[in-house]
Amino acid sequence: MNLGFEKARDSVPALRVVVIDDDEQHLKFIAALLAQDNVAVFSSADSSNGFSLVQTHHPQLVIVDLVMPGMGGMEILEKIIDFDPATEVILLTGHYSSESAVEAIQKGACDYLTKPVQAEKLLDRVDSLLAELRNRQQCLELENELLGKYQFASMVGRSAPMLETIRRIRRVAQHFRTVLITGETGTGKELAARALHDLSPVASGPFVACNCSALVETLAESELFGHVKGAFTGAVQDRVGVFEAAHGGTVLLDEVGELSPAAQAKLLRVLQNQEIQRVGSPAVRRVDVRVVAATHRDLRSMIKEQRFREDLFYRFSMVHIKLPNLAERKEDLQLLAQHFIKRFSEQYGKDIHGLTRRAQMILSRHPWPGNIRELENVLGNACMMTDSEAVDIDDLPEYLRTSEQSEIGDDTPVITLHEMEKAHTQRILESLGGNKVRAAELLGISRAKLYRILADSELPDEKLGEH
């Protein structure tokens, strides 16, 4: 049988197989049968050592004997599924029984074969796994190509709100003197500011970011405009402020709404005249800077409350760019996830290709109050923690794995989560004509989980199907 190994040699990552069988002769037979290009076989006649091989090599396929001294095949199966639910497990037995076959499938096995194994049947399974690997590789290449196409100056997005934001940045960058960027915390305001600078005529000049919320009020003027030696206690030498440091380039005033009224008044003069005075010096210095102000606050409300100068607001807001939050651009979630996984995979020296389907489901349901920064932190931590080729549920923070409970009134009929799960699974399965494989994919659960739900349901046998 031609498995297409030659064709796949350069493009398909090696299929890793672990074989665990206390029958030495049968173990050697399977290992020799699978010893082909692009298939790496690791074998053991000891069950404990065999499971250690699984933990070490993260195989896509494990072939394990049902009855062995020490840890049996069913126990190893449970451990493997718990360790990595994406692993395909084939159980071998010298004495077939329908009861043990059903139990094996319910616990997550993909197949149940009788010894001695038919070579053609086993090779068919390997062939299908290689084909799946080829598909994954092609999908990964397409995702990376898409990522490159929709990446703009470190900003990633293909949703309508993001494409509109990027369009505005492109148009404004060549001409702006002041820009106001607003958006919730974590939406990428500094990235937008850097994009404006990088596309501007002063891109070769400095880009200086100042976090206004971190400025001590008594020293804010010194930080922004500099000071001369002896201007105040502790001023032991002349110091250049943010605006002088950014001469010939761009200043980002992040969280500009946090500036004191006094600092706002002096800032207005800089914007109007492009002049600064260092603290303690009467000399006026000319500066040539473009200014980007960013805030997550509602500056109009702050004006009404007399906490922000109206004239300063209008000076900034001649051009206003509002960044969408992540909830408004959910179609960008997968693209952003791939972007961060690729970056952290390279940073940590790991070979992580993406998210498992069930991890994707968890991320898609989360409201992301911390926006892109929250997603970045979640995936950075997950990539650090995972030992697999894909980030799975167990790699995600606990707060994401914990289902949020909605409040239930006293008169609300209570339906248990278990009952809801069964009912939803039945509806999905019936809509797919009983195709259990497709149902598991659509529900984002393993086949083992699906079979457990079905075993406890009251669906007629003809609706369960054998797909």
CATH code of 425's domain = 1.10.10
Minimal CA–CA distance to 104: which of 340, 451, 384, 372?
451
pLDDT band of residue 199 (cuts 50, 70, 90) is very high
Q: Is residue 152 part of a domain?
A: no
Last residue of a domain, which of 285, 304, 322?
Answer: 322
pLDDT band of residue 70 (cuts 50, 70, 90) is confident
> Based on the domain organization, do 215 and 169 belong to the same domain?
yes
pLDDT at 11 over 60: no
| CA distances, 191 to each of 134, 143, 169, 181, 230 (Å) | 36, 22, 11, 11, 37
Q: Is residue 21 part of a domain?
A: yes
pLDDT at 465 over 70: no
Q: Is residue 13 part of a domain?
A: yes
Q: Is residue 406 part of a domain?
A: no
The confidence score (pLDDT) of residue 250 equals 97
> Based on the domain organization, do 446 and 384 belong to the same domain?
no
The confidence score (pLDDT) of residue 9 equals 36
pLDDT at 228 over 90: no
pLDDT at 454 over 80: no
CATH code of 390's domain = 1.10.8.60
pLDDT at 195 over 90: yes
Of 411 and 24, more confident? 24
The confidence score (pLDDT) of residue 409 equals 42
> Based on the domain organization, do 283 and 334 belong to the same domain?
no
Count the residues in the chain: 467
pLDDT at 442 over 70: no
180 in Cβ contact with 312 (< 8 Å): no
CATH code of 137's domain = 3.40.50.2300
> Based on the domain organization, do 382 and 314 belong to the same domain?
no
The confidence score (pLDDT) of residue 463 equals 43
Of 25 and 85, more confident? 25
pLDDT band of residue 99 (cuts 50, 70, 90) is confident
> Based on the domain organization, do 248 and 371 belong to the same domain?
no
pTM: 0.64
Of 408 and 288, more confident? 288
> Based on the domain organization, do 223 and 132 belong to the same domain?
no
pLDDT at 278 over 80: yes
> Based on the domain organization, do 310 and 205 belong to the same domain?
yes
Of 85 and 269, more confident? 269
> Based on the domain organization, do 139 and 11 belong to the same domain?
yes
Q: Is residue 167 part of a domain?
A: yes
Q: Which of 24-28, 204-208, 236-240 has the highest mean pLDDT?
A: 204-208
Q: For residues 370-381, give the mean pLDDT.
A: 94
List Cβ neighbours of 179 (8 Å cut-off, separation of 6 or more): 172, 193, 196, 290, 291, 292, 293, 316, 318, 319, 320, 321
Q: Is residue 435 part of a domain?
A: yes
Last residue of a domain, which of 113, 144, 175?
Answer: 144
Last residue of a domain, which of 117, 144, 171?
Answer: 144
> Based on the domain organization, do 394 and 245 belong to the same domain?
no
pLDDT at 458 over 60: no
> Based on the domain organization, do 313 and 357 belong to the same domain?
no
The confidence score (pLDDT) of residue 412 equals 41
**Could you report the per-residue pLDDT of 391-433, keeping only the tens digit for each?**
988 899 988 887 433 333 444 444 455 666 677 777 777 767 7
Q: Is residue 268 part of a domain?
A: yes
pLDDT at 93 over 60: yes
> Based on the domain organization, do 161 and 137 belong to the same domain?
no
Q: Is residue 12 part of a domain?
A: yes
Question: How many structural domains compose the chain?
Answer: 4
By residue range, what is the domain housing residue 423?
417-464
pLDDT band of residue 456 (cuts 50, 70, 90) is low
Average pLDDT across the chain, whole number: 82
225 in Cβ contact with 277 (< 8 Å): yes
465 in Cβ contact with 433 (< 8 Å): yes
Q: For residues 285-312, give the mean pLDDT.
A: 94
Convert the chain into a string of H (helix), E (strand) and C (coil): CCCCHHHHCCCCCCEEEEEECCCHHHHHHHHHHHCCCCEEEEEECCHHHHHHHHHHHCCCEEEEECCCCCCCHHHHHHHHHHHCCCCEEEEEECCCCHHHHHHHHHCCCCEEEECCCCHHHHHHHHHHHHHHHHHHHHHHHHHHHHHHHCEECCEECCCHHHHHHHHHHHHHHCCCCEEEEECCCCCCHHHHHHHHHHCCCCCCCCEEEEEHHHCCHHHHHHHHHCECCCCCCCCCCCECCHHHHCCCCEEEEECHHHCCHHHHHHHHHHHHHCEECCECCCCCEECCCEEEEEECCCHHHHHHCCCCCHHHHHHHCCCEEECCCHHHHHHHHHHHHHHHHHHHHHHHCCCCCEECHHHHHHHHHCCCCCHHHHHHHHHHHHHHHCCCCEECHHHCCHHHHCCCCCCCCCCCCCCCHHHHHHHHHHHHHHHCCCCHHHHHHHHCCCHHHHHHHHHCCCCCHHHHCCC
> Based on the domain organization, do 364 and 422 belong to the same domain?
no
Q: Which of 80-94, 136-150, 183-197 has the highest mean pLDDT?
A: 183-197
CATH code of 250's domain = 3.40.50.300
pLDDT band of residue 69 (cuts 50, 70, 90) is confident
pLDDT band of residue 147 (cuts 50, 70, 90) is low
Of 415 and 331, more confident? 331
pLDDT band of residue 10 (cuts 50, 70, 90) is very low
